[in-house]
Amino acid sequence: MALKESQYIWLNGEFVAWNEAKVHVLTHSLHYANSAFEGLRAYPTGKGLAIFRLQDHTKRLLNSCRMSLLNCPYDAKTLNDAQIEILRKNTFAPKTSVYIRPIVFVGYGVMGVYHLNSPIGAAIAAWEWGAYLGDEGLENGIRVKISSWARNSVKSMMGKAKVAANYLNSQMAKCEAVEAGYDEALLLDSEGFVAEGSGECFFIVRDGVLITPPSDNSLESITQDTVIKIAKALGVLVERRRLTRDEAYMADEAFFTGTAAEITPVREIDARAVGDGKRGALTKRLQEAYFDVVYGRDARFADFLTYA
């Protein structure tokens, strides 16, 4: 999905024009992939744009920095304020969802694998962005391929760190799936259990029970947590447990969740129809409830929103 340029980007404490937000070609993170980032959405509500779970995303960003030995020069309040201000600074179309991308990176000045003598930079961009897997996917569901690539093992990488290095694994799985004619990939862990999508968490429904894997080697998803909270508020039974490939094939319903994906139904896995091959009833119910929350229509979850 092509980027729709905005007017300004926050870069190292200052707002600069979109096309002037530049780093050197020898920026350390470009070569060694040590950067921590987040993805947030801001939704148009009756009170204006509202960032969904801002504080939780910033906390996870700083935790990713800690795990990756990135000494972020900005505290949570500064980062939160900058994300609010980036929405105010830019001009977005009315009733448009906005995606926010903060990133903390190792900057220019030192080369080599050892990075602790290098400067640390940070940037925040925001742009208008629709449904990550397409509006049709939100309604009719997508086709998913279980990848030949396993999710990074906890023995080799930190799955709970949202860092650039983890996403080469995701890119390879996504490309494999798309080149095979599917929309998205589902990765298993090194033991053969379902881990997550290339950039999403995975849920299935069996006999009315909502099931999603634990975060043993996966990102601790804020959207996954949101869906669980919404489901429990609706009286839906939720289980967090390991899932096998064959259980995914037997699911009555399935869907992906994530900041970008929101709640996207899965209609097919490896050429096997999920349920009746359409968006399931519980998936639709959770979708509607989720959008009520993020658009500010559900007062029970009002504290999830930060208004710009």
Q: Where a domain ends, among 101, 128, 155? A: 128
Report the pLDDT value the prediction gives residue 1, as an integer from 0 to 100: 65
Q: Specify if 202 maps to a domain.
A: yes
Contact criterion met (CB below 8 Å) for 201 and 255: no
Contact criterion met (CB below 8 Å) for 210 and 236: yes
Average pLDDT over residues 152-178: 95
Is 145 a residue of the active site? no
Whether residues 150 and 40 share a domain: the answer is no
Q: Where a domain ends, among 107, 128, 149? A: 128
Q: pTM score, two decimals?
A: 0.95
Report the pLDDT value the prediction gives residue 165, as an integer from 0 to 100: 95
Average pLDDT over residues 150-179: 95
Whether residues 157 and 278 share a domain: the answer is yes
140, two tokens: 């009719």
Average pLDDT over residues 70-74: 97
C-alpha distances in angstroms, 265 versus 75, 134, 140?
37, 11, 7
162, 174, 278, 284: which one is catalytic? 162
**Dihedral sign, CA of 72, 77, 83, 86?**
negative
Confidence of residue 28 (pLDDT cuts 50, 70, 90): very high
Helix residue spans in the chain (DSSP H): 28-32, 54-67, 76-89, 135-140, 167-179, 222-233, 245-249, 281-294
Q: How does the average pLDDT of the chain come out, rounded? A: 96
Q: Where a domain ends, among 93, 128, 163? A: 128
Q: Specify if 3 maps to a domain.
A: no
Distance CA 163, CA 243 (A): 25
Whether residues 123 and 143 share a domain: the answer is no
Average pLDDT over residues 152-167: 93
Report the pLDDT value the prediction gives residue 131, as an integer from 0 to 100: 74
Query: What DSSP character marks residue 164?
Result: G
Give the tens place of pLDDT for each residue, 253-301. Answer: 999 999 999 999 999 999 999 999 999 999 999 999 999 999 999 999 9
Distance CA 133, CA 141 (A): 9
Report the pLDDT value the prediction gives residue 107, as an integer from 0 to 100: 97
Number of domains in the chain: 2
Whether residues 114 and 162 share a domain: the answer is no
Decide if pLDDT at 161 tops 90: yes
Decide if pLDDT at 197 tops 80: yes
Give the tens place of pLDDT for each residue, 211-235. Answer: 999 998 889 999 999 999 999 999 9
Confidence of residue 2 (pLDDT cuts 50, 70, 90): confident
Percent of the chain's residues with pLDDT above 90: 93
| Domain of residue 289, residue span | 135-294
Contact criterion met (CB below 8 Å) for 255 and 264: yes
Contact criterion met (CB below 8 Å) for 8 and 100: no
Whether residues 123 and 16 share a domain: the answer is yes
Average pLDDT over residues 111-133: 92
Whether residues 165 and 227 share a domain: the answer is yes
Query: What DSSP character marks residue 244?
Result: B
Report the pLDDT value the prediction gives residue 137, as an integer from 0 to 100: 84
